[in-house]
Structure 1
């Protein structure tokens, strides 16, 4: 019937490494979805036995497109880390995406992570499905503005948040990472390809070596990159982030409200409360823009 809503198709999760795809899949089920998992070969773990799934190479758009048709996939969520970029021999285009192969190869050779993700989104949508952000189906995973628990940041923490926010913005503009740690108003660590947990382990080691003052605690800040497509790779924190922050001697964690995910919120907040550290959502849309933090 003309004007009648089209029946909703199935959701697919293209799963890379780490715990995030599992959290997304479980939460999607709780919201009434029956997610189909496309596990990226060499990236996704093996613990997908409870889901209908298929393991495919990251550049195999021919099989990905065929899977979309077979399983009536109309929405796709990209989730999890990708340690290795596909090589040219891994790219298997469809007829629709064949003309884009030269641009894909240029991006793989010289583009940053954000450029690669944008290219992947274009190719997936050319294969017949719409890429959506996790927040479109699971908005309750997003951090809100202000403290998320009973522990509040103090004046010294606010100064550290301002310093780490400026650093994270600059880092993101270079398409390198999303996080920074500041202690005593000084930036002591920037997130690279190793990820947040490894960066926090680095800060903990600097503490042990006496390179960071034991009298000053510090703050981890995680923000979206300024140019980031919000359909992929939103900043996220979870229980392991809290554990790493505690080991690094930090006072708290600040994430971008409305554009960062808090995974396993109950466990994450319980761990933060027990450790006496704060978790807060930052309002990046304030008039102060990118330079100030208003927790």
Structure 2
């Protein structure tokens, strides 16, 4: 039987990026799209559509297609379960799934991973397919963080670690040692919009640090799913908020459209620093 990879696809560019990589390698794959979250499909690849209430049927279909490996890619929000749509086979999975729906994102994702693994699939991270997405330690732009920026990054890392320990968010903004915003369920873009539009952005005086946006995985997070991501849109949001740059955990955050992201940062006079934890 053919060995293949099922890309459990959400929204954004990542599913298509992984599909192109697998296609270039001649590796069989399929995109699996959850109802309500239309996947970007620039290559016109085959798509298997599914609903959470019939997850067992998805497992059967992926096996029939020869898929043995699963990668989660792209953004989704948790769906509302409709009991009337649950089939008898999938009902057997609900005791493991329903309690996780009442917990944080990390707990829910762990439960979903467990179901796929129990069904016999090997669950891998996006970086197993495209390792270059996750940069190692170093400043990636011509602009460099100042000592004040480095201090703000260290403070932001403490805050994100504390938030992540209770499964809240993966990002924070700190300027001159003060926390201006933290990432919650609406996500990074919403946080940066709030900072720019409601809080008025960062308005440091000439002698003060402008502030940094920091992003990292949650402590103990299973890095095969929900690995943090930045891209050109993140750069635009950080610039609009008046910050000095972006700091990500080295080895723990993906950069999508890397060339475009770094070019956008350089054009805005921002730094991007992959910081060692």
TM-score of the superposition, structure 1-length normalised? 0.86
1:75 aligns with 69
CA displacement at 1:263 relative to structure 2: 0.7
CA displacement at 1:28 relative to structure 2: 3.4
CA displacement at 1:86 relative to structure 2: 4.0
| Corresponding position: 1:133 with 2:161 | no
Residue deviations 1:118-167 (CA, integer Å, cap 9, x gap): 10001112223111011111111112101012211001111110111111
CA displacement at 1:91 relative to structure 2: 4.8
Residue deviations 1:206-250 (CA, integer Å, cap 9, x gap): 453xx7424342111111100210110001111111111111111
Q: How does 1:180-199 map to 2 (within 5 A)?
A: 180-199=172-191
CA displacement at 1:83 relative to structure 2: 1.7
| Corresponding position: 1:264 with 2:262 | no
- Distance in 1 separating the partners of 2:142 and 2:202: 27
Choose the corresponding residue for 1:213, options 195, 199, 203: 203
| Corresponding position: 1:241 with 2:234 | yes
- SS at the partner of 2:227? coil
2:194 aligns with 202
1:293 aligns with none
| Corresponding position: 1:10 with 2:1 | no
CA displacement at 1:47 relative to structure 2: 3.9
2:244 aligns with 251
Kept in 2: contact 1:257–1:282 (CA 8 A): yes
Q: How does 1:158-169 map to 2 (within 5 A)?
A: 158-169=150-161
- Distance in 1 separating the partners of 2:73 and 2:53: 16
Kept in 1: contact 2:70–2:123 (CA 8 A): yes
**Which 4+ stretches in 1 moved above 6 angstroms?**
none
> Which structure 2 residue ranges, 5 or more long, are not aligned?
none
Kept in 1: contact 2:202–2:210 (CA 8 A): no
| Corresponding position: 1:273 with 2:266 | yes
Kept in 2: contact 1:68–1:129 (CA 8 A): no
- CA RMSD of superposed structures (Å): 2.1
Aligned residues: 273
> Which structure 1 residue ranges, 5 or more long, are not aligned?
1-6, 285-295
| Corresponding position: 1:50 with 2:64 | no
Choose the corresponding residue for 2:136, options 122, 138, 144: 144
- Distance in 2 separating the partners of 1:15 and 1:93: 25
CA displacement at 1:198 relative to structure 2: 1.1
Relative to structure 1, is the Cα distance of residues 240 and 93 closer, same or farther in structure 2, using a 3 angstrom cutoff? farther
Residue deviations 1:239-273 (CA, integer Å, cap 9, x gap): 11111111111111111111210111111111111
- Distance in 2 separating the partners of 1:88 and 1:106: 15
